[in-house]
Structure 1
């Protein structure tokens, strides 16, 4: 009975409220105010904030310097974010290599444009040994390119060699450090010379001096080291022990006449007491 009386009272209150003109007047006023606020936000405030319907075109700034690219982007009422990319030796430093959004995209004014530049430290690489192993000019170029180095001057060597079109000399020397993108100059063989030269006496000489004496006569050397298989030694820097070794015997007798560029085998030892005294006339 108590619940029924409460429900009946609530029903009577609701019926009276719905018949009250002040209630409907207030409700209508609130509804109109809400609609007015909606149209104000939708038609005035939001378009002003989001700049609806307004777009600018992102300029194409790839391959430009970062400073120039930044200015072009900012001139379009856009902001710039610099991103450091990996170093590429074939592209100038601080050059834009990528952009996001892409060029010619339509974006809102004030949009951030990310510019990736060729930055970072230039890595160092060791210069490879391109001499003394019968490496052709083409193969030498490929080896340099694979390390990020460039072939520089490529010229025929003034000292002949038995193996045409193979590398006989390089600058910088093997083992030197170079920045990526730098050049290595190469000299190559044109084959044995047409001149006849006389083999000098190099027995008893340190290996380095023996090499120099042979090259002065336009002759090549092959170092025979009993500690390891013999190898052509046209690159003094490739044998760090050469300065401590002496020529014990040479493959061609002194004063023998041979073609320029002929290889002379030098049998070496690290014991200076096992070699005869060098020719004092040299």
Structure 2
């Protein structure tokens, strides 16, 4: 057979080779559509908020491949639910296309609680969002610094700055409503312990101002109030008046005051 081929002219052999390549090329292009599934397309279904198990089954049954590529934490989304899909729902893609999923984490990551006290509500809200925390309830309390944060609470309890809290937590903010419009008599704190004075001021919607502490005090909570500003009465022995949210400063001593002839002095 080799001798027959070599006996033919070079031109004839070249034509045979070219013809063979053309036939192979024609067959290849005819099969190309089958190999690449050209023209076979599918519409991507919506798997948002479905569990990753259900979403994977739905997509694979529809002719897609599935790859979980990322995770995120959304507090309002069930654990292991799909948050995002690529390509998006409704996209027209080829059969066998890989759909990439972003799912919700099972355990929320921990973030550091920021210090919001003294910030305006707007600044506190932005700070919380930057840490992926949410603003929960807002409680208003009389205070002179209107609309600023007085306390930050988690689960009804004070939460200190720097503490690790779950991402997505709702933080309750206690905000200042400003001073009240109605004046009330200044409570007489003289003779009370520091703890009793704080409770009394809180019950009157007044705030504790400067606290002057005697160096001899070893137990601040049980130290005694021996002076306050404003005083319960003015120089004319008239009742002093304050508005809700105003400050009352006190002086503490380790010894209770001695009241004599209507005057109050502290023991030394």
* TM-score computed with the length of structure 2 as normaliser: 0.64
The equivalences for 1:1-282 within 5 A come to: 18=7, 38=24, 42=28, 50-61=35-46, 63-65=48-50, 66-89=52-75, 93-101=79-87, 103=89, 104-107=91-94, 109-119=95-105, 121-131=107-117, 133=118, 135-157=119-141, 160-172=142-154, 173-175=158-160, 177-187=164-174, 188-202=176-190, 205-206=193-194, 208-224=195-211, 249-254=227-232, 257-261=240-244, 262-267=246-251, 274-277=253-256
Query: Which has a greater percent of helix?
Result: 1
Q: How many Å apart are 1:102 and its aligned residue? A: 5.0
For residues 129 and 53 of structure 1, what CA distance do their matches in structure 2 show? 59
1:201 partner SS: coil
Q: 1:106 to 1:170 in 2, by over 3 A?
A: closer
In the TM superposition, what whole-angstrom CA distance separates every residue of 1:222-278 from its partner, at most 9, and x where no partner exists?
Answer: 13367xxxxxxxxxxxxxx9759775643233465322422111345xxxxx52227
For residues 110 and 55 of structure 2, what CA distance do their matches in structure 1 show? 29
Give the number of aligned pairs. 235
Given that 2:224 and 2:256 are in contact with CA atoms closer than 8 Å, whether structure 1 keeps it comes out as no
Q: How many Å apart are 1:196 and its aligned residue? A: 0.9
1:138 partner SS: helix
Query: Which has a greater percent of strand?
Result: 2
For residues 210 and 90 of structure 1, what CA distance do their matches in structure 2 show? 43
Larger Rg: 1
For residues 149 and 212 of structure 2, what CA distance do their matches in structure 1 show? 23
State the Cα RMSD in Å: 4.4
For residues 120 and 60 of structure 1, what CA distance do their matches in structure 2 show? 24
Q: 1:252 to 1:195 in 2, by over 3 A?
A: closer
1:85 partner SS: strand
* TM-score computed with the length of structure 1 as normaliser: 0.62
Given that 1:200 and 1:254 are in contact with CA atoms closer than 8 Å, whether structure 2 keeps it comes out as yes
Q: 5+ unaligned residues in a row in structure 1: which ranges?
A: 1-13, 227-240, 269-273
In the TM superposition, what whole-angstrom CA distance separates every residue of 1:147-191 from its partner, at most 9, and x where no partner exists?
Answer: 32222222432xx32333333444232415432222222333242
Q: 1:140 to 1:196 in 2, by over 3 A?
A: same
1:145 partner SS: helix
For residues 138 and 124 of structure 1, what CA distance do their matches in structure 2 show? 23
